[in-house]
Amino acid sequence: MSVFSTTVRVRYAETDQMGVAYYANYFVWCEIGRVELLRQLGFEYKQMEIDDGCHLPVVEATCRYKSPARYDDEVTIETRIAGLRSSVIRFAYRLLARRNGEPALLAEAETVHVVVNRELKKCALPEPYFSAIRATMDE
């Protein structure tokens, strides 16, 4: 199963007075992870919407927080496809930062997305997206 990685730096605006990242930002970072996963597969989410009328709204999101992200941390977002059906995609994420030179797990998260068309009607994920995403699960 392929894991796709991207990195973000925790900005001051994403933290509280103690320099700890606000919990909702983890979902923003997950979005960055899944958009970059698609980009690494050769797709741009924006083009999926324009060219194919394919939208992927989040219908479920969970996050288990393990250790706080702090201001100026470099956070690695590891994203993989955890499940795929014709009209449902489940992404899994691991968010990590370096602590004392070692990777530390900040959080584990999942988002579930239903494929819909421009009219917000559930539909099948068009080719070639389905095949490319499916292939990441076989590796």
Order of strands, edge to edge, in the sheet holding 4-9?
Answer: 4-9, 74-85, 88-99, 102-114, 58-65
pLDDT value for 139:
62
Per-residue tokens: 48:
């999926």
Q: Which residues of the chain have pLDDT under 50?
A: none
SS3 (DSSP) at 23: coil
Scanning 15-139, the segments in alpha helix (DSSP H) are 25-40, 45-52, 129-138
Residue 89: CATH number of its domain: 3.10.129.10
pLDDT value for 101:
87
pLDDT value for 125:
96
What residues act catalytically?
A: 16
Nearest Cα residue to 112 out of 63, 59, 64, 62: 59
Count how many domains the chain has.
1
Q: Indicate the length of the chain as a whole number.
A: 139
- What is the span of the domain harbouring residue 113? 4-138
